[in-house]
Amino acid sequence: MTDFIIVGHGLAGSVMAHQLIERGQKVLVLDAGLPHSASAVSVGLVNPLIGPKLNPPFMIRDCLMENELFFRQCERSWGSDFYRSIPLHRLFISEKQKKSWKEMEKNPDFFLFQNGQLNSDQYQKMGIQARLGGGITKNAWQLDVSRFLKASKDYLIAIKALKNSSFEFKRKENLQKVIFCEGFRVLENPWFKGLPFAPARGEVLSVQSGINLALSNGSWHLPGFADYAHMGSTWDHQNLLSGPTERGKQEILDKCNFVDLKKSDFPQHSSGVRSGTKDRHPIIGVHPVHKNLFLFNGFGSRGTSTIPHYAKKMTDFLLKNKSLPSEANLNRFI
């Protein structure tokens, strides 16, 4: 007898499944392998200082801690490695930003996240154009999302807990507990599609830059785990299903002009849809009427940072009846 059906084996569904299995639950994960999934193109960056103001995102310390516990345990159990620490060079885009970095260096709250500065000449020697220099972010991480999902899939198949199948909305699933982790496809879910989601398509370009550093000026260049580096990304709220575009490629190249690409062939160019929300917090919890239907979605552009943290909260809610964090609880819209 299955305790929970999980719909979707992207990052959200897979992490949810393993947290429930770890707590002794029997799960069945359904994934239809639909195109445009966010996890299929995600570069897995965990950035502790975000936006032009370099703010630490909400609950970042808790998220980093939960990531360390969750991903390390998966690595040990599955004999694989997919979560690594990366010094992330934040290339300043304005004098104001450079000044704030310096100010932050005096504040003990930021000691965990900053590790000095480099000037433009030092970057020049590494082949990087950074007119205002940059700061080195400590405690940035990168998940090899495809490797994690492959290892998760192998494990779930071995315990007969994964089916390549679509969830059938017409069937009455009244007795089964179902957790929907469908990413932006929630827009087709009759029970949850009315919630304030704000999906955004994003593109990623693989490049042969010859530079083995993680760099960001808002857009990013990240070394690949196996071969090419990746650069991105773009935001498009309209043409969700268009796939990669010439315009997106040009936008990425323009934004990442801190790297001088020697070769202009791009081994891969992909596009996926983030399932963001209007208030930028995930939406997790139980349906107000159908108490057997649950939602775990809305992780936007920061799923790698937040999914293990919220999966733990969701598991405590499902198994121990603990309250969900108010900023993410679905009931904030009721």
Give the x-and-dash track for 175-194 against ligand FAD (CB under 6 A). Answer: ------xxx-x---------
For ligand FAD, the binding residue among 275, 277, 315, 329 (CB under 6 A) is: 275
For ligand FAD, the binding residue among 209, 216, 304, 329 (CB under 6 A) is: 304
Query: Is residue 223 a contact residue for ligand FAD (CB under 6 A)?
Result: no
For ligand FAD, the binding residue among 18, 89, 302, 313 (CB under 6 A) is: 302
Using CA atoms, how far apart are residues 243 and 249, in angstroms rounded to an integer? 11
Which CB sits closer to ligand FAD, 139 or 305? 305
Mutual orientation of helices 11-22 and 60-78 as an angle, nearest 10°? 70
Query: Is residue 5 a contact residue for ligand FAD (CB under 6 A)?
Result: no
CB 48 within 8 A of CB 113: yes
Which CB sits closer to ligand FAD, 299 or 317? 299
Q: Residue 270: left (phi > 0), alpha (psi -120 to 50), or beta?
A: beta
Q: What 3-state class would DSSP assign to 286?
A: strand
Give the x-and-dash track for 144-173 against ligand FAD (CB under 6 A). Answer: ----------------------xx------
* Helix %, strand %, coil % of the chain (to 5): 30, 25, 45
CB 39 within 8 A of CB 11: yes
Q: What 3-state class would DSSP assign to 154?
A: helix
Which CB sits closer to ligand FAD, 61 or 96? 61
In the chain, what is the straight-line distance between the N-terminal and C-terminal CA atoms, in Å?
Answer: 32
Task: By CB under 6 A, name the binding residues for ligand FAD.
Answer: 7-13, 30-34, 37-39, 41-45, 166-167, 181-183, 185, 202, 204, 232-233, 272, 274-275, 297, 299-305
